[in-house]
């Protein structure tokens, strides 16, 4: 898996490589430039006229090095370096001197503010633009010539490669820092992924992300990582002596009166992921409709709260999923609270289950002190759990998820366009799906997949991570046929078998 670092973590790796291993910073800059050039050769083989926008720091130095390499290879290159040369970084100054020696075309603007008309005249006939204005050190919005340059790039209609991270975005949160940021088709980032590339506003602006190995190492082994196919290795093969009773008995508690879609999807997903037995505990009015479509599951219906009956079902299960479509009625509250007081097996809490838990966290802590627990909130449900507004969670997902996981001894699957999975020690990012997953019932399917894996013996964290990855990949596979907008939750279920 690829590590996902903050700006501070990346700078520490950079400094460590220079100071501990003695690799000069200019050598690293040259490697970074070659990494960008290699992506350009691979993805844009017909581009010959290249325009490069460079800022005053080391990101600008990368850009000048890229331009000089391309110039020496016969490309037509035009570079604009914005800013006062007295404020340029030492590495940028070195790269400019080298580029001048190679007679690379280069314009330094000084303190003059340039607008789009200037750029248009200077860069007429350009096939592709490279954004090397600002890298991971940016802390404020683009202004002046930099803002004009970003708007020019975005309006050009030409392919754009961003160097390390698109200019204008926060490296850690992905937040747009001002009024405009560069929209890239491809971002070539160095050594490790950066958190902001996967989050917030920057995810859409980064385009396809390529990680170039430039010889910088040293990321902490406990640093966050991006899930890939290797997570599937935690799922054991089915034993040749298995029977349905040894493959996981899942109790799905879901569906208030006449609200049975979520219940059906969760139970179906659990069965499809490999659970040997799935029992659905739902309002009695739901059973006929679900059973007609999912005869493989077992069913028990309730009308009013029956503690004795519920406790019997709890004893039967290897793992419990509670919450999808359950509602927040008095009956639902009693059911959720009984699970929290009495469950002796791992529990996954989703949807309305989370909303009920949020109102009584001390009781939730009793549950997490006794058995492994996974929560699967979207941003609004997370707000109810922790009190942090959605707009703030969106730009600080890792911290919010991990803080809650640590405080309450659980696993949190914080769902968004990039999902963050955290326990007390480890954080994974997951972007295996696509925007097609923004469809009704998608979260119910995810909860069913995770619960199934938990019932098959995976740890809570492994089940959450593998389940989230499978859910995304199955959805992405399905959209090859359905298209992004045509994806239904049932299509995700239909493609789970491609991955397990």
- Give the pLDDT score at 64: 98
Residue 488: CB atoms within 10 A of its CB come to 16
The span from the CA of 203 to the CA of 175, in Å, is: 9
Residue 271 shares a structural domain with residue 130: no
* Partners of 374 in the β-ladder: 348, 411
Residue 369 shares a structural domain with residue 466: yes
The DSSP element (H or E) to which 64 belongs, if any, is helix 58-72
Half-sphere exposure of 10 (CA within 13 A, CB side): 21
- Give the pLDDT score at 454: 99
Residue 396 shares a structural domain with residue 420: yes
- Give the pLDDT score at 112: 66
CA distances from 228 to 96, 446, 448, 466 (A): 39, 17, 20, 9
- 406 neighbors 424 (Cβ within 8 angstroms): yes
User: For the segment 127-176, what is each residue's pLDDT rounded down to a tens digit?
Assistant: 999 999 999 989 999 999 899 999 999 999 999 999 999 999 999 999 99
Supply the DSSP string of 98-164, one letter for each residue: HHHHTT--EEE-BT----HHHHHHHTTT-SEEEEES--TT--S---HHHHHHHHHHHHS-S-EEEES
Residue 267 shares a structural domain with residue 382: yes
Residue 428's domain comprises 229-498
Residue 233 shares a structural domain with residue 217: no
Residue 111 shares a structural domain with residue 159: yes
Residue 350 shares a structural domain with residue 395: yes
- Give the pLDDT score at 377: 99
- 352 neighbors 332 (Cβ within 8 angstroms): yes
The span from the CA of 327 to the CA of 253, in Å, is: 11
E strand segments, 284-433: 298-302, 319-322, 347-349, 373-375, 411-414, 419-422, 427-430
pLDDT digit of tens for each residue in the chain (500 aa)? 999 999 999 999 999 999 988 999 999 999 999 999 999 999 999 999 999 999 999 999 999 999 999 999 999 999 999 988 999 999 999 999 999 999 998 988 876 666 666 677 777 889 999 999 999 989 999 999 899 999 999 999 999 999 999 999 999 999 999 999 999 999 999 999 999 999 999 999 999 999 999 999 999 999 999 999 999 999 999 999 999 999 999 999 999 999 999 999 999 999 999 999 999 999 999 999 999 999 999 999 999 999 999 999 999 999 999 999 999 999 999 999 999 999 999 999 999 999 999 999 999 999 999 999 999 999 999 999 999 999 999 999 999 999 999 999 999 999 999 999 999 999 999 999 999 999 999 999 999 999 999 999 999 999 999 999 999 999 999 999 999 999 999 999 999 999 99
> The domain that contains 211 carries what CATH number?
3.40.50.10260
> The domain that contains 390 carries what CATH number?
3.40.1190.20
Domain boundary residue, one of 170, 204, 221: 221
- Give the pLDDT score at 120: 73
Domain boundary residue, one of 221, 238, 258: 221
The span from the CA of 360 to the CA of 85, in Å, is: 59
Domain boundary residue, one of 189, 221, 253: 221
Residue 251 shares a structural domain with residue 139: no
The span from the CA of 36 to the CA of 29, in Å, is: 11
The span from the CA of 172 to the CA of 469, in Å, is: 22
- 309 neighbors 302 (Cβ within 8 angstroms): yes
Distance of CA 159 to the CA centre of its chain: 24
Give me the sheet containing 193-194, strands edge to edge.
193-194, 2-5, 225-226, 427-430, 419-422, 411-414, 373-375, 347-349, 319-322, 249-253, 277-283, 298-302
Residue 203 shares a structural domain with residue 247: no
Phi-psi map region of 52: left, alpha, beta (phi>0 left; psi -120 to 50 alpha): beta
Specify the 3-state DSSP secondary structure of 389: coil
Residue 209 shares a structural domain with residue 269: no
Residue 75 shares a structural domain with residue 135: yes
Structural domains of the chain, count = 2
The span from the CA of 20 to the CA of 428, in Å, is: 29
- Give the pLDDT score at 110: 77
Specify the 3-state DSSP secondary structure of 215: coil
The span from the CA of 439 to the CA of 262, in Å, is: 12
User: For the segment 344-394, what is each residue's pLDDT rounded down to a tens digit?
Assistant: 999 999 999 999 999 999 999 999 999 999 999 999 999 999 999 999 999
- 308 neighbors 318 (Cβ within 8 angstroms): no
Residue 285 shares a structural domain with residue 421: yes
- Give the pLDDT score at 105: 87
- 135 neighbors 57 (Cβ within 8 angstroms): yes
The DSSP element (H or E) to which 186 belongs, if any, is strand 186-190
* Partners of 212 in the β-ladder: 190
- 286 neighbors 255 (Cβ within 8 angstroms): yes
- Give the pLDDT score at 166: 99
The span from the CA of 267 to the CA of 129, in Å, is: 50
């Amino acid at each position: 898996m690829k590590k996902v670092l903050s700006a501070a973590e990346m700078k520490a790796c950079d400094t460590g490589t220079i100071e501990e291993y003695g690799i000069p910073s200019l050598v690293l800059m040259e490697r970074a430039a070659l990494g960008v050039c290699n992506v350009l050769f691979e993805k844009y083989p017909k581009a010959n006229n290249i325009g490069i926008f460079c800022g005053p720091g080391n990101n600008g130095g990368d850009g000048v090095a890229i331009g000089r390499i391309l110039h020496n290879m016969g490309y037509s290159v035009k570079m604009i370096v914005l800013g006062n040369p007295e404020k340029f970084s030492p590495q940028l100054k070195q790269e400019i001197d080298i580029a001048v020696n190679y007679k690379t075309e280069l314009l330094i603007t000084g303190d003059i503010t340039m607008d789009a008309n200037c750029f248009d005249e200077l860069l007429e006939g350009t096939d592709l633009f490279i954004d090397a204005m600002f890298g991971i050190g940016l802390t404020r919005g683009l202004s002046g010539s930099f803002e004009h340059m970003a708007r020019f790039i975005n309006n050009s209609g030409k392919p754009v490669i961003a160097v390390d991270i698109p200019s204008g975005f926060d490296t850690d949160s992905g937040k747009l820092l001002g009024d405009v940021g560069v929209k890239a088709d491809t971002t070539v980032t160095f050594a490790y992924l950066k958190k902001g590339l996967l989050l917030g506003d920057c995810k859409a602006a980064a385009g396809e992300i390529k990680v170039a190995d430039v010889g910088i190492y040293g990321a902490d082994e406990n640093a966050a990582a991006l899930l890939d196919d290797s997570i599937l290795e935690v799922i054991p093969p089915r034993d040749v002596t298995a029977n349905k009773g040894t493959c996981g008995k899942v109790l799905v508690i879901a569906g208030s009166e006449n609200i049975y879609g979520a219940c059906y999807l969760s139970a179906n997903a659990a069965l499809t992921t490999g659970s040997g037995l799935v029992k659905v505990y739902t309002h009695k009015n739901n059973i006929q409709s679900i059973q007609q479509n999912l005869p493989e599951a077992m069913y028990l219906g309730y009308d009013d709260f029956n503690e004795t009956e519920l406790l019997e079902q709890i004893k039967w299960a290897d793992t419990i999923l509670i919450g999808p479509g359950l509602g927040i009625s008095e009956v639902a509250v009693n059911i959720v609270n009984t699970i929290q007081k009495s469950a002796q097996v791992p529990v996954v809490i989703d949807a309305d289950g989370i909303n009920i838990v949020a109102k009584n966290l001390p009781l939730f802590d009793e549950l997490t002190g006794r058995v492994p627990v996974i929560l699967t909130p979207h941003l609004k449900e997370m707000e109810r759990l922790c009190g942090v507004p959605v707009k703030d969670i969106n730009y600080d997902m890792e911290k919010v998820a991990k803080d809650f996981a640590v405080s309450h001894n659980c696993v949190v699957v914080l769902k968004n366009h990039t999902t963050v999975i955290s326990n007390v020690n480890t954080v994974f990012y997951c972007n295996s799906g696509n925007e097609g997953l923004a469809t009704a019932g998608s979260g119910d399917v995810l909860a069913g997949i995770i619960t199934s894996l938990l019932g098959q013996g995976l740890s809570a964290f492994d089940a959450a991570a593998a389940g989230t990855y499978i859910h995304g990949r199955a959805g992405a596979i399905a959209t090859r046929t359905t298209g992004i907008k045509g994806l239904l939750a049932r299509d995700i279920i239909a493609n789970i078998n491609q991955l397990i």
